[in-house]
């Protein structure tokens, strides 16, 4: 997988950018790099990478704005934030915008590569398919989501979660099942992340009536068409 996997490294520090790029190439990845937010958006648009390693502090715009702009372009590429800022608020902001992971500098290179490969396993492509429930549609091949014909911007993790819910439309799935299928075996964090991402999806998908994502207390979640 690695030899065909293209990573985009975005960091304004030349030494960090060059050393990290060299290490990732040595690990077998194809790597391009950018020093500014503008360069990052242009690079991701011209040749979409399989994953972006993105520094939060950039000279023109911060990494959060880069993610916003990529989502506006309907790019659901996975994002791993690299930053010297370890505040909880920054982590929440990054994850809410669709980051798949958040690594604080200085970091262990072996661990970073392991996290990259874990994200890539989770976001591996699936056969093209179009799923629909009510006015909600998900194009797996085009990596696009629409509600009543209007585009809905979602992160890579949100896309996987929504796809799993839609594949099981009308069936209640537990948090454990969601963790296993969306985050898989490499996830070692708090199971409440499921609630957090369900909340993110609701804000994006259920902005109009009828609501499609429902909580079944004590059991899990279900996405279903409105009852007539």
How many C-beta neighbours within 10 Å does residue 10 have? 27
Q: 132 to each of 71, 82, 139, 148, 181, how far by Cα in Å?
A: 21, 36, 9, 11, 20
Instruction: Specify if 53 maps to a domain.
Output: yes
Q: What is the pLDDT of residue 97?
A: 65
Domain range for residue 103?
A: 6-124
Q: What is the pLDDT of residue 33?
A: 95
Residues (pLDDT < 50) of the chain are 126-128
- Regarding whether 105 and 30 lie in a shared domain, the answer is yes
Q: What is the pLDDT of residue 195?
A: 93
Q: What is the pLDDT of residue 167?
A: 83
- Regarding whether 25 and 117 lie in a shared domain, the answer is yes
Q: What is the pLDDT of residue 50?
A: 87
- Regarding whether 72 and 38 lie in a shared domain, the answer is yes
Domain-terminating residue out of 124, 148, 164: 124
Domain-terminating residue out of 124, 148, 173: 124
CATH number at residue 65: 3.40.50.2300
The total number of structural domains that make up the chain: 2
CATH number at residue 149: 1.10.10.10
Instruction: Specify if 187 maps to a domain.
Output: yes
Q: 103-139: buried (b, 16+ CB within 10 Å) or exposed (e) per residue? A: beeeeeeeebbebbbbbbebbeeeeeeebebeebbbe
Q: What is the pLDDT of residue 179?
A: 87
- Regarding whether 113 and 145 lie in a shared domain, the answer is no
Instruction: Specify if 228 maps to a domain.
Output: no
């Amino acid at each position: 997988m690695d030899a065909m996997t293209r990573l985009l490294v975005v960091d304004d520090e030349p030494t960090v950018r060059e050393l990290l790029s060299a290490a990732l190439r040595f690990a077998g990845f194809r790597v391009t790099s950018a020093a500014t937010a503008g360069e990052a958006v242009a690079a991701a648009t011209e040749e979409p990478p399989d994953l972006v390693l993105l520094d939060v502090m950039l000279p023109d715009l911060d990494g959060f704005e880069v993610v916003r702009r990529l989502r506006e372009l309907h790019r659901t590429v996975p994002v791993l934030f690299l930053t010297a800022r370890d505040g909880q608020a920054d982590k929440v902001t990054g994850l809410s915008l669709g980051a798949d992971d958040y690594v604080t500098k200085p970091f262990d290179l072996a661990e970073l590569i392991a996290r990259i490969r874990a994200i890539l396993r989770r976001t591996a492509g699936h056969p093209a398919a179009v799923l629909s429930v009510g006015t909600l549609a998900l194009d797996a091949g085009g990596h696009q989501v629409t509600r009543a014909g209007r585009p809905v911007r979602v992160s890579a993790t949100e896309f996987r979660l929504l796809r799993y819910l839609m594949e099981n439309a009308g069936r209640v799935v537990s948090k454990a099942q969601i963790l296993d299928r969306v985050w898989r075996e490499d996830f070692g964090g708090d199971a409440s992340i499921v609630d957090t991402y369900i909340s993110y999806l609701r804000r994006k998908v259920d902005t109009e009536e009828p609501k499609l994502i429902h909580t079944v207390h004590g059991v899990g979640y279900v996405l279903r068409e409105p009852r007539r």
